[in-house]
Amino acid sequence: MQDKGPLYVISVASRLLALHPQTLRKYERAGFVVPSRTDGNLRLYSPEDLALLRQVKHLVDERGVNLAGVELALTVTRLAEQLLDRTEHEGNTAKLRRDMQETMTQMLRTLGRDRGE
């Protein structure tokens, strides 16, 4: 089983992601990632933190998204992941359908689309 706890100091995370350490600090200030801290206040990044930072890097570098757009995309990503988790664990039920509708409505509102409900 893979350890999912914080494993990487900022210099290692920086090399793994091909991002400058200052860029990682900027993304932390923006609230995209919150690395753990050691007793000595060193940042420690988990595999999940690195995956999130890879997504941020992709959005910025490959898609040309600004930081406000990244925040929006990360919110929609979290909602979509919640929806997928529900479908995997709850089966095909009326509750699942209501949960899916609620989550999709949240996604649309996040994107500035209100269906008038």
Q: Name the residue ranges covered by the structural domains of the chain.
A: 1-65, 66-117
CB-CB neighbours of 25 under 10 Å:
14
CATH number of 1-65: 1.10.1660.10
Whether pLDDT at 92 is above 50: yes
pLDDT digits (tens, 9 = 90+) for 34-54: 999 999 999 999 999 999 999
pTM, 2 dp: 0.78
- Give me the helices (H) in 18-66, please: 21-29, 47-57
Distance CA 62, CA 27 (A): 17
